[in-house]
Amino acid sequence: MTAKLIMRWNIRPEMESDYFEFLVHEFIPALNSLGIVEIQVWYTQYGDCEQKLVSGITPSLEKMQELINSEAYARLIDRLGQYVTHFSQKVVAATAGFQF
């Protein structure tokens, strides 16, 4: 079963420029190097929810669990915490289309 990691957060207002640089040049490439692929980044324009929704997949639930329990992933999420608030994540079975 293909697994999908879904993460949500808000950007710290004072960190928007630095956040964008981190996202493009470090965060997404690091997720890819860990084995999370087909990464999608969504921005919430309207509504009462987090500003960003980011998803990526792995070929199996076991692989996803291994990745999100790794030291490298923990360091990456700690680093993300410098730029965001209200971080949450969940792992679901990947299906076609938008999932949240």
- Pick 52 or 32 by higher pLDDT: 32
pLDDT reading at 14 higher than 80: yes
Strands (E), 12-83: 37-43, 52-58
- pLDDT for 99 beyond 60: no
At 83 the three-state DSSP class reads coil
pLDDT at residue number 94: 83
Domains of the chain: 3-93 (3.30.70.100)
SS3 74: helix
Residue 22 has pLDDT above 70, yes or no: yes
Query: Contact 84/38 with Cβ under 8 angstroms?
Result: no
Strands (E), 1-100: 3-11, 37-43, 52-58, 84-93
Instruction: Give the tens place of pLDDT for each residue, 35-91.
Output: 999 999 987 766 666 778 999 999 999 999 999 999 999 999 999 999 999 999 999
Please give the model's pTM, rounded to 2 decimal places.
0.88
Q: Please give the pLDDT value at position 51.
A: 79
